[in-house]
Structure 1
């Protein structure tokens, strides 16, 4: 995206039969993207900030809604400031078919045991709902170090939390499943994820290792994928 004339230009790339690539451009009012995107039912959402007409004022936080089928920016969704308060650390999830954001209540602490779940109830009216949940145990959350985030839910409706980095060399890797209805949490150890010296030596892992957890919305955790990358 670029904005040479105070406009954002989006390039849409389509793969056709025989590997043929076609491209088109879509323009929209200017904005600065803040988060990764999430696709739900043919629409792509991502957090952004829109500059105000008075440049001394703080930019307005919004969610950009891009209609993938018709290749257009459908709307800028007005968003409560708390939803995007962590900017690039904000993680979008799909919750019961709707866009949602988990905001940990940790302040200046290094962990959290309470979080707010913001749900976009009406895309057209820009209506959000807020629910607050208290966890049975605290999860780490720091800006520069260990963080526990969520990438979504499973078919049972449990919110899945996982650490973004490995807890240490050859240490157990745990994933947490929180049920917002029963308020119960399960702590599940995933065996074979860098929890032995043999694993670290085999792949030459050193330093801080980042983990990315991808729920596939199936009942068995055996079908979940965990991807590791090494950060120097």
Structure 2
């Protein structure tokens, strides 16, 4: 009892000392000196120095003083950091287990060529938050993602880099309607926008847009002069244009194009039937659709795969390109089935296999005709029935949600 009373007295004395006017004056003096030092350094140099810090250090520096927070929350720093991050893109992984979703990332290798061994890549854990059932998770769009919680009937925007998220406002909809949402980015105005469609039975009846970052978190009705049905659940945003698959009035497959800046619609006729279920990818800055023989995945028995590349959206012109896989593709190292992820800036197709541990990512360099399998480490503890996915070309964005 005496020992416990002594400890309590010591803690009380520490609180009294830390809260004393003399201590507060010394702390204030140190903060003033730090702020004065910051004011003596050119702002461009300050931004350059801070941009070299890891994300966790930037988060701590925001708490040093109001002066530091003002710099690190400002648009000049966040835009400069984003510009540098575009040159060091990452792989972003998500794993849904039970009632939560976790995000991890790793450095995206450049020019991977290692046929004799199986290199490894370690991941960093970003965030885990509760989700009753994440029905759809959008592709990473300039660092942000849009997630649908089917049980709670809510949509959440999250930034894994800052570990922040917020729920989108509810939409006014009709009874028994279904909502589909896509996330896009306008690189000119540097704005994220959410495109939403309200479906009744098989057709889209309403189109609405919400702009992030303009201080007005409300949905706006927009016009769409292109009737379409059965919009796909996935999309891709390339150079300010959001693409998703759908079917037209004649039941033909089509690619719907939504210009994020002008909020205008257009469409492209599909290159072939069945494209409604294909994977859309960014191939050297152009929209492309993948297809492997008669399926939309690759297996260890596959000898080749094809992609359709959109050469001219206005003329609805596509070109087909066939890639023959090297002989080592059929080796035991290749899992039975792998799915398309995308294409890197260094001409490598990326495939993923998450059917069981360990998890692998495959790089096929079609210029050098080589295959490399990379084992992903740091995501242990996941069972075969957990839902795991991967996004290519993810960028770190330090923009805080409160700025929206």
Residue 290 of structure 2 corresponds to residue 102 of structure 1 = yes
Q: Structure 2: how far apart are the matches of 1:38 and 1:110?
A: 21
Residue 315 of structure 2 corresponds to residue 125 of structure 1 = yes
- CA distance change for structure 1 residues 20 and 192 in 2, over 3 Å: closer, same or farther? closer
Equivalent position to 2:267, from 51, 61, 76: 76
- CA distance change for structure 1 residues 2 and 153 in 2, over 3 Å: closer, same or farther? same
Equivalent position SS for 1:208: coil
Aligned-pair CA distance for 1:30 = 2.2
Equivalent position to 2:238, from 40, 45, 57: 40
- CA distance change for structure 1 residues 128 and 83 in 2, over 3 Å: closer, same or farther? farther
Contact 1:14 1:23 in 2 (8 A): no
Contact 1:66 1:72 in 2 (8 A): yes
1:135-186: CA deviation from partner (whole Å, max 9, x where unpaired): 2314667xxxxx42222222312111112x332xxx3211111112121111
Contact 1:174 1:187 in 2 (8 A): yes
1:195-225: CA deviation from partner (whole Å, max 9, x where unpaired): xxxxx2xxxx44512221122269xxxx9xx
Q: Which has the higher helix share?
A: 2
Contact 2:292 2:298 in 1 (8 A): no
- CA distance change for structure 1 residues 107 and 94 in 2, over 3 Å: closer, same or farther? closer
Structure 1 residues 1-232: aligned runs within 5 Å: 1-2=197-198, 8-18=205-215, 20-32=217-229, 33-52=231-250, 59-73=251-265, 75-82=266-273, 84=275, 87-88=276-277, 90-106=278-294, 111=299, 112-136=302-326, 137-138=329-330, 147-163=337-353, 165-167=354-356, 171-194=357-380, 200=381, 205-206=382-383, 208-216=385-393
Aligned-pair CA distance for 1:19 = 5.2
Contact 2:252 2:273 in 1 (8 A): no
Aligned-pair CA distance for 1:117 = 1.3
Contact 2:207 2:223 in 1 (8 A): yes
Contact 2:291 2:297 in 1 (8 A): no
Contact 2:284 2:345 in 1 (8 A): no
1:20-46: CA deviation from partner (whole Å, max 9, x where unpaired): 435232223321213511111111111
Q: Structure 1: how far apart are the matches of 2:204 and 2:384?
A: 42
- CA distance change for structure 1 residues 106 and 193 in 2, over 3 Å: closer, same or farther? farther
Q: Which has the higher strand share?
A: 1
Aligned-pair CA distance for 1:51 = 2.4
Answer with 1 or 2: which has the greater Rg.
Answer: 2
CA RMSD of aligned residues (A): 2.8
Equivalent pairs counted in the alignment come to: 190
What TM-score does the superposition give when structure 2 sets the normalisation length? 0.42
- CA distance change for structure 1 residues 217 and 158 in 2, over 3 Å: closer, same or farther? farther
Instruction: Give 5+ residue unaligned stretches, structure 2.
Output: 1-196, 397-404
Contact 1:178 1:184 in 2 (8 A): yes
